[in-house]
Amino acid sequence: MKTAALLGNPNCGKTTLFNALTGSTAHVGNWPGVTVDKKTGTYKKLKEEIEIVDLPGIYSLSPYTPEEVISRNFILDENPDVVINIIDATNLERNLYLTTQLLEINVPVVIALNMTDIIKKNGDKIDAKILEQKLGVPVVEISALRGDGIDELMRITLEESYRTREGKTLFEDKQLLHLITDVKIAFEGKGVNNPLFHSVKLVENDEIEVKDHSDLLTIVSKYKEIINDEIFGDDFEALIADARYKYIEKEFGNVVSVSAKSSNGETKSSRIDKVLTHRIWGLPIFIAIMFLIFHFTFSEDLFFMGKMGLSIENEGWVNFFTGMGYEGEALEGIPSIGVFLQSWMGWLTGQFIAGFQWICSGFQEFGDVAANAASSTWYGSLICDGVLTGLDAVCSFIPQIMLLFLFIAIMEDTGYMARIAFILDRAFRKFGLSGKAFIPMLTGFGCSVPAIMATRTIENDVEKNRTIRLMTCFSCGAKAPIWALLAAVAVACGFGYADIFVFSIYIGGIALAVILAILMRVFSKDKYVSPFIMELPQYHLPQPKNVGAHLWEKLKHYVYKAATILTASLIVIWFLNTFGFENGSFCMVEEIEHSLIGYIGMGLKYLFYPCGWAINSDGWKFAAASVTGLVAKEDVVGTMAILFNGGAEDTLAESITSLSAAGIYSFAIFNLLTFPCMAAIATAKSEQTKKEFLKTLGFWFGVSYGMSSLVYWVGTLYEVSIVGGILVTLAIIGLVVFASFLVMKKDKFTFKTKSSS
């Protein structure tokens, strides 16, 4: 089987092409840094299969970041049969910079000229023939997004994979070329593969090359004494880069002929960006969009009817359209699509459990009788009160979570998510948070594991460690059921609105990350903020294929997780909940407080006293649920279902009545910020040194414990005295503002001392 590697700049469409070629559903991220490791798949439409390798996006073959090292080493050391160099045709000259380096390696190359659909739409023209002549390799026009031209691309790729190609340089500076040729001969003498590539890199003073071939440095330095450029002096890296760009501009400056329509710079994307990334309105618009998303997913009152005092008799078809959960009650509003689906899902899983109870009871009367009978045998209790009750609680939130993921997938696919990183970078760079850190953090809305892996793109270790620590502020998908449940509890207790509750958790998390970053900077000596250069991809309508594939992956993952790790942990939790010590012997217990989990929870409860949610008589249940959340975050909900509900008729949210509003928030904050699940903890461990990892663990626990307590006590103060609450809140805001002021001042000071030295 032949191997073809996909190489190109970040955001040129590699992953889109990879997915189109292999039918894979690798995640298409609309920002650099999402493909950190290489991925492989197979193209099967030709008589011979071709293995496709998706490499991290890079701008040059001189490694500065870990991703660049992966891509460079793959091409030099793994000897792919052919490299497909993807070029974003709307950004031709910058993309060709990498091409001029790639062509110096002895490997067949095919150029995939991507995004030609945009070129056509803008009314521009591109002359692929000139490219082909000058570069000396085949050029195929494609649109990875629409699948145009990709079969032709692969046909030519297979042909090329049987050829060999000698590397060549593409720039014209005579002195440099002379030097490079001499060094190349020396490399050939040493029997090194790809002598031309190594020779150019050595002349460029490339770090890896200088280390590996220090013996050849004398030749280079002898020559270098002769050449001394007026502009670049003896910076040979800059000299060669300049030579490459000059060549590209001279030869390829006219390959794309720009029509009048796009030459005045007013593409549709730039018009949309004028609004969405507006200096002042960008951030409020983002917040408003987030609110709408949570409103559509979690609101019980989509059109604010309840607030206007309208209500509807909930009968017949109204009942059907508003979900089963509302049967028999007058409606205070029309539920959002998320709540509607959730109440149907809850009804469905409820019927499912009732069926099992009926079977386990030996086909007694359906309903309460069957439920009681099922609970009386150990197997009936295991299946109905343990596994099914837990899974019911976790799975009934599937529709809402899928809806949330749908919105996130749309934001990513259209190109808006990349703008969010840009907006956040602009707003918070002064406080030491760069967009480089926000990209992994925003990935964290999906899952912390790939998000923590994506911090590899941050070169600065202090910033990388900080980003990993702040990751828990960004609520991952597995925590969403906890918010959905707590929101329902808040509504059932009459404290508030579900959508606002969940919205405040997400936005509050981002705000907290910023505040913590500021505080961490006050106490840190390191002032470095990574530069953030990102190209914003053009907006396009969400592609049902991309979005659908993404959702399908999530759903599969969720169901798989429920069937494996969640079921297994629910069995353990059921066991701990059912067995214990009563009357001096180990047995199935009557009183839940005497169960094993009861003892564990009672012990832990005191540890969490300051956080507030552990104070009441049910406090031990919350403590136990938080601990099981370490295995998987969905277990928090599963555990609460078993401990609170145990086969009772009323819904879970209604049986949790022991928390105050402050308690609900404080419990949510604790679970948001505390240790993530095992998988994420293990990922952090592998990304950090031992010392930093231990600090991270301490940070997660300390911050969650501290913030949870703070929220509880300030919240309780509000319940007692609003004035007191406001005063304390103002004091806290004052502290944060003071800290930000310190950070800005500190940075200015260091900047001054640096520039004056």
Q: Which residues contact 131 (CB under 8 A, 6 or more apart)?
A: 111, 113, 139, 252, 255
**Binding span for ligand GDP by CB under 6 A among 4-12, 279-287, 397-405, 440-448:** 4-12
Separation of alpha carbons 501 and 294, rounded Å: 9
Residue 701's CB is within 10 A of a number of other CB atoms, namely 13
- 145 contacts which partner out of ligand GDP, Mg ion, none, CB within 5 to 8 A by kind? ligand GDP
Q: Is 577 in the site for Mg ion (CB under 5 A)?
A: no
Phi, then psi, of 235 in degrees rounded to 5? -85, 90
Nearer to ligand GDP, 356 or 445 (CB): 445
- C-alpha separations of 275 from 271, 413, 427, 658 in Å: 7, 19, 16, 46
Q: Is 11 in the site for ligand GDP (CB under 6 A)?
A: yes
513 close to 505: Cβ distance less than 8 angstroms: no
- 2 contacts which partner out of Mg ion, ligand GDP, none, CB within 5 to 8 A by kind? none
Residue in the structure block whose two tokens are 């960006």:
273
Q: Is 15 in the site for Mg ion (CB under 5 A)?
A: yes
- 132 contacts which partner out of ligand GDP, Mg ion, none, CB within 5 to 8 A by kind? none
Nearer to Mg ion, 20 or 664 (CB): 20
Nearer to Mg ion, 10 or 508 (CB): 10
Q: Is 95 in the site for ligand GDP (CB under 6 A)?
A: no
234 close to 228: Cβ distance less than 8 angstroms: yes
Give the residue nearest to Mg ion (CB).
15
Write out the binding residues for ligand GDP, residues 501-540 only, by CB under 6 A.
537, 540
292 close to 508: Cβ distance less than 8 angstroms: no
- Smallest distance from the beta carbon of 661 to Mg ion, in angstroms? 44
Radius of gyration of the chain (CA): 30
Separation of alpha carbons 360 and 727, rounded Å: 58
Separation of alpha carbons 691 and 693, rounded Å: 5
- Smallest distance from the beta carbon of 8 to ligand GDP, in angstroms? 6
Nearer to ligand GDP, 113 or 433 (CB): 113
Structural tokens at position 298: 């979690």
- Smallest distance from the beta carbon of 537 to ligand GDP, in angstroms? 4
- 13 contacts which partner out of ligand GDP, Mg ion, none, CB within 5 to 8 A by kind? ligand GDP
- Smallest distance from the beta carbon of 569 to Mg ion, in angstroms? 34
Strands of 139-141's sheet in order across: 39-43, 50-54, 2-8, 82-88, 109-114, 139-141
Separation of alpha carbons 294 and 407, rounded Å: 10
Query: How many angstroms separate the most distant Cα atoms in the chain?
Result: 99
Separation of alpha carbons 408 and 542, rounded Å: 11
Residue 400's CB is within 10 A of a number of other CB atoms, namely 26
- Smallest distance from the beta carbon of 412 to ligand GDP, in angstroms? 8
643 close to 637: Cβ distance less than 8 angstroms: no
Q: Is 96 in the site for ligand GDP (CB under 6 A)?
A: no
Give the residue nearest to ligand GDP (CB).
13
Residue in the structure block whose two tokens are 């909930």:
314
Q: Which residues pair with 114 in a beta bridge?
A: 88
Separation of alpha carbons 524 and 689, rounded Å: 18
Separation of alpha carbons 145 and 414, rounded Å: 12
**Binding span for ligand GDP by CB under 6 A among 12-20, 322-330, 367-375, 741-749:** 12-20
- Smallest distance from the beta carbon of 221 to Mg ion, in angstroms? 40
Angle at which helix 416-428 crosses helix 398-414, to 10 degrees, equals: 80
- Smallest distance from the beta carbon of 87 to ligand GDP, in angstroms? 11
Q: Is 440 in the site for ligand GDP (CB under 6 A)?
A: no
- Smallest distance from the beta carbon of 466 to ligand GDP, in angstroms? 25
Nearer to ligand GDP, 142 or 176 (CB): 142
Among 4, 5, 53, 57, binds ligand GDP (CB under 6 A): 57
- 536 contacts which partner out of ligand GDP, Mg ion, none, CB within 5 to 8 A by kind? none
Binding mask 647-676 for ligand GDP (x = CB under 6 A): ------------------------------
Q: Is 35 in the site for Mg ion (CB under 5 A)?
A: yes
Nearer to ligand GDP, 71 or 645 (CB): 71
Separation of alpha carbons 337 and 564, rounded Å: 29
Q: Which residues pair with 39 in a beta bridge?
A: 54
Separation of alpha carbons 248 and 311, rounded Å: 68
- Smallest distance from the beta carbon of 14 to Mg ion, in angstroms? 5
Q: What is the SS3 assignment for 53?
A: strand
Q: Is 671 in the site for Mg ion (CB under 5 A)?
A: no
Nearer to ligand GDP, 126 or 643 (CB): 126
Nearer to ligand GDP, 477 or 537 (CB): 537
**Helix, strand, coil percent content, the chain, rounded in steps of 5:** 65, 5, 30
Phi, then psi, of 43 in degrees rounded to 5? -100, 125
Write out the binding residues for ligand GDP, residues 307-326 only, by CB under 6 A.
none
Nearer to ligand GDP, 415 or 676 (CB): 415
**Binding span for Mg ion by CB under 5 A among 12-20, 108-116, 175-183, 636-644:** 12-20
At 732, which helix (H) or strand (E)?
helix 722-756
Our measurement of the distance from residue 577's CA atom to the centroid of its chain's CA atoms, rounded to an integer in Å, reads 35
**Binding span for ligand GDP by CB under 6 A among 110-118, 304-312, 401-409, 467-475:** 110-118
Query: Residue 474 gets which letter from DSSP?
Result: S
**Binding span for ligand GDP by CB under 6 A among 9-17, 195-203, 220-228, 237-245:** 9-17
Binding mask 140-159 for ligand GDP (x = CB under 6 A): ---xxx--------------
Structural tokens at position 132: 């082909």
Phi, then psi, of 685 in degrees rounded to 5? -60, -40
Separation of alpha carbons 436 and 442, rounded Å: 11
- Smallest distance from the beta carbon of 544 to ligand GDP, in angstroms? 12
Write out the binding residues for ligand GDP, residues 371-430 only, by CB under 6 A.
415
- C-alpha separations of 572 from 364, 367, 623, 638, 756 in Å: 28, 27, 16, 11, 64
Residue 316's CB is within 10 A of a number of other CB atoms, namely 8
Nearer to ligand GDP, 33 or 195 (CB): 33
**Binding span for ligand GDP by CB under 6 A among 75-83, 114-122, 198-206, 223-231:** 114-122
- 117 contacts which partner out of Mg ion, ligand GDP, none, CB within 5 to 8 A by kind? ligand GDP
Q: Residues in contact with ligand GDP, total (CB under 6 A)?
A: 23
Separation of alpha carbons 446 and 479, rounded Å: 10
Structural tokens at position 609: 């006293």
Q: Is 114 in the site for ligand GDP (CB under 6 A)?
A: yes
Q: What is the SS3 assignment for 495?
A: coil
Write out the binding residues for ligand GDP, residues 13-42 only, by CB under 6 A.
13-16, 28-30, 35
- 16 contacts which partner out of Mg ion, ligand GDP, none, CB within 5 to 8 A by kind? ligand GDP
Residue in the structure block whose two tokens are 């109440």:
343
Separation of alpha carbons 517 and 529, rounded Å: 12
Nearer to Mg ion, 144 or 202 (CB): 144
- Smallest distance from the beta carbon of 247 to ligand GDP, in angstroms? 24
Among 38, 40, 117, 522, binds ligand GDP (CB under 6 A): 117
Among 12, 170, 200, 672, binds ligand GDP (CB under 6 A): 12
Binding stretches for ligand GDP (CB under 6 A): 8, 10-16, 28-30, 35, 57, 114-115, 117-118, 143-145, 415, 537, 540
Binding stretches for Mg ion (CB under 5 A): 15, 35
